[in-house]
């Protein structure tokens, strides 16, 4: 799909509504998180969620309510970014995040265990986290597709997450060399389709422009149907994508 075949301003607004506006930087502080929230312009449209470290969940929740952006979800990360934290620590962090108001938990699967031929440990992390989330929060499982590398391992990790109860499967932490790719997306979406469970998909890291986002939407529409593409099923995890969205809409 080329930019000449689509109405880019309309697509920019569509992408914005599917976005998890993200700040997961080592130097994040309350001021930088508030500055990110200040970038949200309701006149252009609202993102699906903001994604921040656990210590900023309560701040974001309160600030979004204060701004009248009540339906913008607050997501946070657990077992991030290494996927190597002890399970009990991960579950404790999940409980605290939900208590602080998190609507969504982005859990890093122990992907190294998948690579080592141990599917049971990743399954336990996902299943236990899902049990903690219950009806309080959606569980989005990061499989770190760029580290898994092969289609076979990406498919296996996707299956583990889906069968263990994930509400979403997500490509990446954004902290490794290879993050979201269309090739990994195709494998992950195909596993959602084959498993026939109500699981969403999130492309995270590396999708920086609306034009880069369009092939992801096109493939998802081809495989899952156009009606499937909404914030309940499809997300982009992005920090810089909003800049391009704003630039495109400003020119329209």
Q: Is 106 a catalytic residue?
A: yes
Catalytic residue among 61, 73, 138, 170: 170
Catalytic residue among 20, 106, 167, 244: 106
Residue by residue, DSSP assigns 1-24 as --GGGS-HHHHHHHHHHTEEEEE-
Q: Is 197 a catalytic residue?
A: no
Catalytic residue among 130, 138, 202, 244: 202
Calpha distance 114→75 (Å, rounded): 25
| CA 208 to each of CA 117, 180, 237: distance values in angstroms, whole numbers, following the listed order | 33, 11, 10
Number of helices and strands in the chain (H, E)? 11, 8
Q: Is 140 a catalytic residue?
A: no
Length of the chain: 252
For residues 134, 138, 139, 145, the Cα torsion angle rounded to the nearest 10 degrees is 160
Catalytic residues: 106, 170, 202
């Amino acid at each position: 799909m080329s930019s000449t075949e689509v109405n880019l301003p309309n697509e920019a607004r569509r992408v914005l509504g599917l976005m998890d506006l993200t700040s997961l930087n080592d130097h994040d502080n309350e001021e930088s998180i508030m500055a990110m929230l200040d970038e949200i312009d309701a006149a252009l449209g609202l993102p699906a969620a903001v994604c921040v470290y656990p210590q900023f969940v309560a701040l974001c929740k309160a600030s979004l309510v204060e701004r009248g952006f009540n339906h913008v979800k607050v997501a946070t990360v657990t077992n991030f970014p290494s996927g190597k934290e002890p399970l009990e620590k991960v579950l404790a962090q999940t409980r605290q995040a939900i208590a602080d108001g998190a609507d969504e938990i982005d859990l890093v699967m122990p992907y190294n265990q998948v690579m080592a031929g141990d599917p049971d440990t990743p399954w336990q992390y996902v299943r236990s986290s899902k049990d903690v989330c219950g009806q309080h929060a959606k569980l989005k499982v990061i499989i770190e597709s760029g580290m898994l590398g092969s289609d076979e391992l990406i498919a296996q990790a996707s299956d583990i997450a889906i069968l263990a109860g994930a509400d979403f499967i997500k490509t990446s932490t954004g902290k490794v060399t290879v993050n979201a790719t269309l090739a990994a997306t195709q494998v992950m979406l195909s596993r959602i389709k084959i498993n026939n469970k109500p699981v969403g998909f999130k492309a995270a890291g590396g999708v920086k422009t609306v034009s880069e986002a369009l092939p992801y939407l096109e493939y998802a529409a081809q495989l899952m149907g156009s009606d499937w593409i909404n914030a309940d099923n499809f997300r982009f995890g992005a920090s810089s994508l909003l800049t391009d969205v704003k630039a495109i809409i400003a020119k329209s």
